[in-house]
A and B are shown apart, each in its own frame.
Chain A
Amino acid sequence: MSRIHRLRRRAGHAASVHERARSLAAIQLTEPLKPVDNTWLLEHLSGCDACRQVLAVYEADRAGLRRLRDQQPQPPRDLWARTAAAIEREAVTSGRAPRRASTSRPSPSASRRRLAPLAMLAGVAVVVVVVGASLLSGGFLNQAPQVAVIPSSQPPVALASTPTSPGPTPLAVGAGSVGWIGASTNGKFAYNESAAISEVCAVERQEECAPVADHGSKAVDITIRPKSVTRSPVRNEAVVVGTDASGSDAIVVIALPAAAAPNASPSPNPTPAVTPVPTPAATPSTEPTASPAETASTSEPPASEAPSPTPVATPVPTPTASVEASPTPVPTPTASVEASLAIASGVKIVGESAAFSPDGSWFAFTARPSDDSAGPDIYVWRVGDPKARKLTSDHHSVLGSWAGDRLIGSRPMDTGTQPAEVSARSFLIDPASGAETELDGSAWRPVVDPTGQWAVTWDGTVQLADGGLTITPASGSLAVHRYSSGGIDTATDNSVVTDAAVPEFDARWDETGTWLAVWLADPSDPTIGRLSLHHLDRSTGKIERVHGAPKDVTALPGFSIGDGRLAWATPPGQGGEGSRVQVVAWSNDNVGAVESGPVENVVVIH
């Protein structure tokens, strides 16, 4: 061996010795060394200042690293609800678990043995955890930090609906009222409307939270089973889409009972600790909150007294017009509606986009013949007219939304009876004349915000199926784009809500155009879906996920958003005893939730 090689070998040997020492020094921080290695290391360190220094640094760095333990992040309190919902979807997708196996509220022990309670909790707990997230982080709108005060070691639990005393510490929110129609036990339908939601419940008192106070159920005389209810923005009436006794779709207009009287207003600067407990805490859920007489005496004048050309002026009596006393917990007061007006029959309603125009003078929807003889067209009904009429006749048009006093419709670029994936286009259409104006950009079913600046739309292709009868999103994404009367700028500013093809979606804006709620139908069962609330940065068009906002909440079709609250109905069985109306309400300072008692066949009025 040459001298050079020997020198190199010595140098290499020296380096490997120090490397070995440092390696052992690192290892012995987490596990004991073999005696022989330990002896060797101690011997080496005694004669090597550099390696001793490295060991000291390792120890100091380790101590510094372990100090991060003090910063223990807490997960979002709705994490279990989200996870349970995702597991439920996974189970359904893989076809291994019943979607809604539970028909009764399981006991805690049962919930350990069944998957179904996961979904039940997902539906209810999200509402609960929103409250907690806000409480612990300083507010719904403040992009809460993730550090919580209360450790979350258990999944959230479903709420008890029976109030106990004392009531929950309320949070002032000042949200609008929520209305819904549901079946009472006598087989008739009852209209319910909460008073203005001024207070919601805090998470740590949620078990003591009473159901949201309705304003006294009122029987409504409708002969169809409601699937969707749309309230006029200017009159106390609603358009009900439902199915009649033969199973066919029908659309009727009903006059709603008088609006709820305002609830006790929260103090201007609410202090939860001293704010009075809302009335539900002292009102058992099985008792009416007011007698019919009391309701009548405190309510606003009925809508029928208002001078307007509503269908009430042309009553069409129905066989069920008489009001019967109800022996059920849902009271049946005398203030029922007087009549209903059928504006369309012999059609199948398509989609969830039916809506009143902003000024309340028109109602538009998509439908196709009930005999499946043709594809969908856009229909309009002018308030006061006896019937709705067809606005398009190509049998491939669907309603997107209203944009001011005109409608936005969409249709495929190519039509036919063979299954095909094609592009789509949208157009403005005058509800009176039917005159169309093409919109730039390839978009399907744009839903324009009330300010007319942004639209959420399917940006991609659509699938023609069932001989041209159905048109559903195919490839692309549901996204927010900038909107103008000239078109939809799908090239920029997009903020994707979902890129999964969904059989149906329902997107609605609040009155400020700042909050967007999107319901996505479940591909395996389009009668239910997932509802999420998004916040829009109006300057950029980016949607933001707000900490604590409902996300992928299992919901029935039909929800309402506005006046600082989002309301939806859970699928039956999620609480074990039928659907519940869930309400998340927020202000700049607070967010919380309330829910109704169980209701059968419930439809939230939007």
Chain B
Amino acid sequence: MVADPTLADLRDPFGRRSAPMVGAMSEAWDHDEAGAFIETLFAKHHGEIYAYLLRMLREPELAADLTQDAFVKAYKNYETLEKPENARAWLYQIAHRVALDEIRRRKIIRFFPWTGESRGSAPSAERLVMDAHLSGDMQRALARIPERQRAALLLAELHDLTGLELAAALGVSHVAARALLTRARESLRQALAAEREAEDEAEANGAAPSRSTGGPR
């Protein structure tokens, strides 16, 4: 089997290489089993994987394509999953690599304002206005911070990955993941402050609040 180069350096939460992707084991794995397993994984996790990729890349169609890519890569590299209970983090790791690869490939990070619909009871108009305002600031601020930090924040705060899962998904050690998350919080604080400052300045000048498209600093 030809290993997927984007997964060639998958590492476990402790920074070790995952199982080798070549050799007898990879040749012998049961594709029927793999297909069934990926199908189950898809049913269970495709929504959150799509949401993560959408939040990282902000383009729905692209996010859908990359979600597809992620599951195909999961299928191709099924044998690298050592423990089924780690499947979710493993899947996020693949999705994260897919996202970073796409970002690198395109050399762009585009963030567009995006408003989703809330589930549950309809929020009040004031809440909608406030949320849109907050979300707009937040989206733009997220766009300003480096993508690895953004990934760490999204995975920890919106996708509820534990420390070890976060480390696995990011392909770093637990200590490194924690440090990355710490830097991400500080980056977000500064980015939000910059966003608000820009808005205040624009309002003071009588212009519409800025709508920067963001990008890595």
B60: chain A residues within 8 A (beta carbon): 73, 76, 145-146, 547
Report how far A304 CA is from B175 CA in the complex, Å. 82
With A79-B50, A146-B60 as known contacts, state yes or no: A87 contacts B43, CB within 8 Å: no
- B124 part of interface (Cβ distance < 8 Å): no
Instruction: Mark the stretch among B5-13, B100-108, B153-161, B206-214 that contacts chain A.
Output: B153-161
B91 within 8 A of A: no
Instruction: Report A43-69 CB contacts with B as 1/0, cut-off 8 Å.
Output: 000000000001001100110111111
The reply to whether B46 and A71 contact each other, CB–CB distance below 8 Å, is no
Contact status B118-A70, CB under 8 Å: yes
Q: Which of A27, A29, A71 contacts B116 (CB 8 A)?
A: A71
Interface size on A, residues (CB 8 A): 54
Neighbouring B residues of A83 by C-beta, 8 Å: 42, 46, 67-68, 71-72
State whether the Cβ of B85 lies closer than 8 Å to any Cβ in chain A.
no
**Min distance, Cβ A100 to any Cβ of chain B, angstroms:** 14
Known: A71-B116, A73-B60, A87-B72. A112 touches B31 (CB 8 A): no
Residues of A within 8 A of B2 (CB): 94
Determine if B114 is an interface residue (Cβ-Cβ < 8 Å): yes
Residue on A nearest B116 in the bound complex, by CB: A71
Closest residue of A by beta carbon distance from B156 = A30
A30 to B189, alpha carbons, bound, how many Å? 16
Query: B36–A112 contact, CB under 8 A?
Result: yes
Is B182 interfacial (CB 8 A cutoff)? yes
Q: Is A153 an interface residue (CB 8 A)?
A: yes
List of A residues within 8 angstroms of B197 by Cβ? none
B68 and A86: CB pair below 8 A?
yes
| Distance between A176 CB and nearest chain B CB, rounded to angstroms | 29
Please name the residue on chain B nearest to A24 by beta carbon: B182
Report whether A76 and B1 are in contact in the complex, using a CB–CB cutoff of 8 Å.
no
Looking across the interface, which residue of chain A has its beta carbon closest to that of B141? A61
- If A113-B36, A114-B36 touch, whether A65 touches B158 (CB-CB below 8 Å) is yes
A194 to chain B, nearest CB (A): 31
Task: Indicate whether A259 reaches chain B with its CB closer than 8 angstroms.
Answer: no
Q: From B43, B135, B142, give the contact of A153 (CB < 8 A).
A: B43
- Is A308 interfacial (CB-CB < 8 Å)? no
Q: Which residue of B lies closest to A145 (CB)?
A: B60
Q: A323 an interface residue at 8 Å Cβ cutoff?
A: no
Majority-rule SS of B interface residues: helix
Say yes or no for A23: interface residue by CB 8 A criterion: yes
- Chain B, residues 130-158, CB within 8 Å of chain A (1/0): the string is 01001101100010000000000100111
Residues of chain A with a CB closer than 8 A to B35's CB: 87, 91, 97, 114-115, 118
Q: Which residue of A lies closest to B72 (CB)?
A: A86
Q: Is B47 an interface residue (CB 8 A)?
A: yes
Interface string of A547-583 (1 = CB under 8 A from B): 1000000000000000000000000000000000000
Q: Is A373 an interface residue (CB 8 A)?
A: no
Q: Chain A 91-118, CB within 8 Å of chain B: the 1/0 string?
A: 1001011000000000000011111001
A383 within 8 A of B: no
- Distance in Å: Cβ of B192 to nearest Cβ of chain A: 6
Report the minimal beta-carbon distance from B81 to chain A, rounded to whole angstroms: 16
Tell yes or no: B126 within 8 A of A by CB: no
Contact indicator B31/A96 (Cβ below 8 Å): yes
CB atoms of A26 and B46 under 8 A apart: no
A66 to B43, CA, bound (A): 24
Interface pair B76/A90, CB less than 8 Å apart? yes
A155 to B192, Cβ gap below 8 A? no
| Contact call B116/A73, Cβ cutoff below 8 A | yes
Q: Does A80 contact B (CB under 8 A)?
A: yes
CA distance A62 to B39 in the complex (A): 34
Count residues on chain B whose CB falls below 8 Å from chain A CBs.
55
Residues of A with C-beta under 8 A to B38: 87
In Å, the complex CA distance between A96 and B27 comes to 10
Q: Given A31-B163, A58-B189 in contact, is the A115-B116 Cβ separation under 8 Å? A: no
Contacts of A97 in B (CB 8 A): 31-32, 35
- A147 to B156 CA separation, bound complex (whole angstroms): 23
CB pair B47–A75 under 8 Å, yes or no, is yes
Q: Are B67 and A152 in contact (CB under 8 A)?
A: no
A129 to chain B, nearest CB (A): 12
Chain B residues with CB under 8 A of A115 = 31-32, 34-36
Complex contact B189–A79 (CB within 8 A): no
B189 touches A155 (CB 8 A): no
Q: Answer whether A91 and B117 are a contact pair too, CB < 8 Å, given A153-B47, A155-B39.
A: no
With the chains together, A273 CA to B134 CA distance in Å?
39
The CA-CA distance from A491 to B116 in the complex, in Å, is 40
B185 located at the interface, meaning its Cβ lies under 8 Å from any Cβ of chain A in the complex: yes
Is B158 touching A57 in the complex (CB atoms < 8 A)? no
Q: When the two chains form their complex, are residues A72 and B185 in contact, meaning their CB atoms are under 8 A apart?
A: no
A151 at the interface (CB under 8 A from B): yes
A10 within 8 A of B: no
A65 touches B153 (CB 8 A): yes
Whether the Cβ atoms of A79 and B64 lie closer than 8 Å is yes
Additional A-B contacts beyond A61-B189, A118-B35 (14; CB < 8 A): A26-B182, A27-B181, A68-B135, A70-B116, A72-B47, A74-B50, A76-B60, A79-B67, A80-B46, A84-B39, A91-B31, A112-B40, A149-B117, A152-B47
Name A's B-contacting residues (CB within 8 A): 22-23, 26-27, 29-31, 54, 57-58, 61-62, 64-76, 79-80, 82-84, 86-87, 90-91, 94, 96-97, 111-115, 118, 145-147, 149, 151-155, 545, 547
Q: List 18 A-B contacts (CB under 8 A).
A: A26-B185, A68-B55, A68-B135, A71-B116, A71-B117, A73-B50, A73-B63, A73-B116, A74-B47, A75-B64, A80-B42, A80-B46, A83-B42, A87-B35, A112-B39, A147-B116, A154-B43, A545-B61
